[in-house]
């Protein structure tokens, strides 16, 4: 039961940030890497769509992480393993998706960033 409390506390912070990103309460200032860009570079990105994407990515990641203590508590080894692998794959695929295809640029035809 302690594991649920520990994971719950650890997951609640990124989950809360994710909800704020998806709803638009906070923007790119909460996204690492985006908040350190120069103002000129930041203006080339669609901050709202990037924030929503990162928010949904965090929500799915947190749900995957929640499977780890659930599997431990229910003594289902494959669920624990699946939760860890699922969380890793979600982040891996999400980072690749976000960084390819100029998805979050305001001007999709622009080549110099």
pLDDT in tens, 8-25: 888 999 999 999 999 988
Q: Is the pLDDT of residue 111 over 70?
A: no
3-state secondary structure string, 51-103?
HHHHHHHHHHHHHHHHHHHHHHHHCCHHHHHHHHHHHHHHHHHHHHHHCCCCC
Domain boundaries, given as residue ranges, for the chain: 2-98
Give the whole-angstrom CA distance, residue 89 versus residue 48. Answer: 24
Tokens 């200032």, located at residue? 29
pLDDT tens profile 85-103 = 999 999 999 999 988 888 8
- 105 strand-pairing partners: 45
């Amino acid at each position: 039961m302690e594991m649920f409390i520990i994971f719950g506390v650890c997951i609640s912070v990124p989950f809360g940030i994710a909800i704020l990103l998806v709803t638009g309460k906070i923007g790119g200032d909460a996204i690492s890497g985006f908040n350190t860009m120069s103002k000129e570079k930041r203006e080339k990105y669609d901050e709202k769509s990037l924030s929503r994407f990162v928010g949904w990515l965090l929500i799915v990641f947190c749900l995957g992480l929640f499977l780890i203590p659930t599997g431990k508590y229910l003594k289902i080894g494959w669920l624990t393993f699946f939760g860890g692998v699922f969380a890793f794959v979600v982040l891996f695929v999400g980072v690749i998706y976000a960084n390819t295809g100029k998805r979050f640029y305001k001007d999709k035809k622009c080549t110099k960033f």
